[in-house]
Amino acid sequence: MRNVTCTNGRIVSPSECSGITPKPVSVKYCEGRSHCSWKLTKAKNCTCGGYMKRRSICMDTLRNMRSNSCPHSDRPPIKHRCQPPPNCSCRSIQHHTGTRSDGEYMVNVRGREVSIYCHRMNTTTPREYLTLKMGSTENYSMYYEKRSKDRSQCPDSIHHMFTDETIPSGVTRYSKVRLNLHTLQVINDDFAFTHTSGHTQPFASAGDCFSITGRCPKGVFSVNLEGTGFRIRPTTQWETKGQNSAIIFHQNLEPPYFKVIARCGGYCGNCFSSKNQTLSLDVL
């Protein structure tokens, strides 16, 4: 409440102000902490980290609307410990069900139920793999085995190339990739479900020793996650390494972020996903 008076340098009769401006209100609603309190929203499901989370909202109980006047010291905790779901990993599935059979299981990954292949279930250290539904024909890494006879040129004919057996060349085709369920990073040097000709090649990498031009890389990789319940993290980038290294994308990483295809090479040169040289995924 406030006192409203009519003045012209001194207090005068209210009649002298009538018709000039509207009289300001003398009583105005204001928030009082006595009727403001924190309300908690409904808790979400327990996470694999062993806690459930709720939002806290400050409410004016008189007007039934949000407020900013709740004492911060009274704000209740929004995280509470809880029993994690029984299917957060292959190990937890093994523990809760007693199963010892390798196969596809529905696993809770960041609150989503997705199909994960559990391997080595007859041991105390089972591992999680993502089955690549599009198969090894669309999920492979290749380091090219030939060099150009004239390294300053980009010949197409094999008559102008030769095989260099000192190159760590090879093709690795993937039917499943091992996945770290905590970071959602592909463990790209696990070759349990691969077929390799020559040297093993990490997932989503490629290279060659073909030419110094940087115009005709011959190594190639392909990734296709369609149908897996995951996508390639949109912020993923590929780095090149080596002399005159280059990367040329034939299928750019773009929405819906399932596929990417690129040629890589140099003299010698290769490419790989940039974050710790491993590929990171998102669950859909």
Stated as kind and residue range, the H or E segment containing 94 is helix 90-97
Which of residues 67 and 242 earns the better pLDDT score?
A: 242
128: pLDDT strictly greater than 60? yes
pLDDT digits (tens, 9 = 90+) for 22-72: 777 766 555 455 678 888 888 778 899 888 888 888 988 887 888 888 888
Is the Cβ–Cβ distance between 59 and 76 less than 8 Å? Answer: no
pLDDT of residue 27: 60
Sole residue written with tokens 């993923």: 236
Task: Return d(Cα 232, Cα 14) in angstroms, integer.
Answer: 73
pLDDT of residue 278: 81
Task: Return d(Cα 220, Cα 248) in angstroms, integer.
Answer: 9
